[in-house]
Structure 1
Amino acid sequence: MTPISFDLAEPHGPRRPVDVLIVDDSVVVRRIMAKVLAADDRFSVTGAVSSGAQAIDFVRNQPVDLVLLDMQMPGMDGLEVLPRLLASERKVQVVLLSGTCREGSEIALQALAMGASDVVAKPSAGHFSDNFVEHLLDRLGHLVPAPERNRTPERIDEESARLRPLGSMVRAVGVGGSTGGISAIMTLLSGLNPGNAFPIFITQHLPANFQPLFAEQLHRATQMPVVIAEEGLPVRAGVIHVAPGNAHLSLVREARGRVTIRLSRERCLHGSFPAVDPMFQAMARVYGPGACGVILSGMGRDGLAGAHAIIEAGGWMIAQDHASSAVWGMPGSVARAGLASAILPPGSIGELILDQWRAAA
């Protein structure tokens, strides 16, 4: 994917580099990584430690924006350390580096589902080629910037949010998510199997090479047909349509009424491919009052502009609640704007949509 690029210029101040902690049991790798990052003025290495326990202690006591975390280490491995780092009040981002875990593998997808921002295959120590360095810096440079994370709404915003009336039609459901969104999507869809009632569209911030496995896991979890969106593909009720990793999922209604997929690569406010906003905006144009948008866990505000479009078209929105979200940025922005008809955990969202569909049937 090509998500939001680092642009860490504060609204009224100078550009600030990203504070990075390197966690790897190899002293050679730590030195190489520190040298690579030191040569790029977007990053500042604030520490380099050799174990998960040291990383947890460091993040607790030092300013850190981004943690580069080795997957295989003595003691706690990367998957054990990951949730403890993400639980930090500093809201760090974590990129897992692995010499044995293939990008796009089930373990890598599990790490993303737990809240990792990315998983990058790491060469062995001493084999850091120029191509790998360029690839790594590109991936790191496309993460959500710290100022955006710092604007994550707090719990009080959920408690005081004004809710809109529930929608009276369900002609299509669109689900958008980012960090922590994968597990939320799986839970939501387990309670949402409408048969052939309406199409479901999903935009999850994921690198392109994860999309086939993500689609396969969706099918296993729901037993529903799942397709990765392609240009011109007819939209079918009862099918889950997943945005590809290199384009936005958009829609068009043809002259005879058939709805087909359109892929867009236009830059949008959030700079990510795929982004949630274009999907929601397309649903608003095509389905109007029958468009139901769901915004799940994720950093930033992707989905907010699209939520406005759905509401203006007469459709309705549901936001994931604060307690069940890994990051309440995306759902929180929709809730704070007064666009949500409900703020619920994923397991209850599917039930609500089906109840509204049955009531209108």
Structure 2
Amino acid sequence: MSDSRTATDHAPYDALLLLSFGGPEGPEDVVPFLENVTRGRGIPKERLAEVGKHYFLFGGVSPINEQNRELLAALRKDFADHGLDLPVYWGNRNWAPYLADTLREIAADGHRRVLTLATSAYAGYSGCRQYRENLADALAGLARDGLPALRVDKLRHFYNHPGFVGPMIDATLAALGDLPEEVRAGAHLVFTTHSIPNAMADSSGAPDDPARDTPGGAYVAQHLDVARLVAEAVAAATGAADRPWELVYQSRSGAPHVPWLEPDVCDRLEELHAAGAPAAVMVPIGFVSDHMEVKYDLDTEAAAKAAELGLPVARAATVGADPPVAAAVRELVLERAAAERGAAVDRRALGTLGPSHDVCAAACCPNPRAPRPAAAEQ
């Protein structure tokens, strides 16, 4: 994609949608936000107020909306700086600006072919298919209201794109530098991501996805591949080829009797300390930005556990709105546009799994409760 035409040619797409989870922006928003998240599950308000205590510790404000504003600005700046005349919109699943309202705005502005960037880099129900179900619901609402039809496609999973992995490597090296010098050389790398039910992990990815050739499904395989890439790059940069690393999980929720991915990060820190590990660096590879599950589960809860143990820890930053991330999104947009036009495409990806598919199969990452329509699938 190096010639002058493909460098800025986003046809047939005429808009990009940044699609995210959303979060409360004040104490009065917390319970209504959690009602949106848990709609249909019959959870009483009193229980939601208890669940929302993490948000109240931060003034009832989730960092995610401000971080999405920063990413939105970074994308618009990168596109403008590189002559890519593609408007960028933002919509959320669970809080304002709501996805349905944003799609109405896109339609009112005259756009008809929309690419979507979800703020989740990996395969899985919550990180991919559920967003596509939300898109299907919102598009059905437009149709019911007699509004112009939109075609919405989704950018491929970008977990192994160089623009995503590179900033993680830099952030891990920076976090290592934050540790006391005497423990730095022996520090373990503890890569973290959101725990999900084992059954959901096992069914993640398309049936023919190469990532599902390994036990645990695509969700686990993709995280392991990224963790290995970062660990190998850090080893090369620091000369510590035998530095231990592993993938652990955080933010478990749901019924206690349902098996979820383990080990939990706090449990693993305790085990590392008992085994004599001198220090650890927590690397949240499963998260695009420092939202509540990073700020509370790692910076608050896991940091408190490490302090209780006397285990020195540092936490690597998430990729956020770093310029390489915005540049990677631009590359993914142009890549997908070129593929839609039938042009040859250089699909960059690191690791062993290769670039993810552009269009999800109907059997991808099935809904754990009941089948529902999803946009952007075969």
TM category, shorter = 0.3 to 0.5
TM-score normalised according to structure 1 size: 0.32
TM-score normalised according to structure 2 size: 0.31
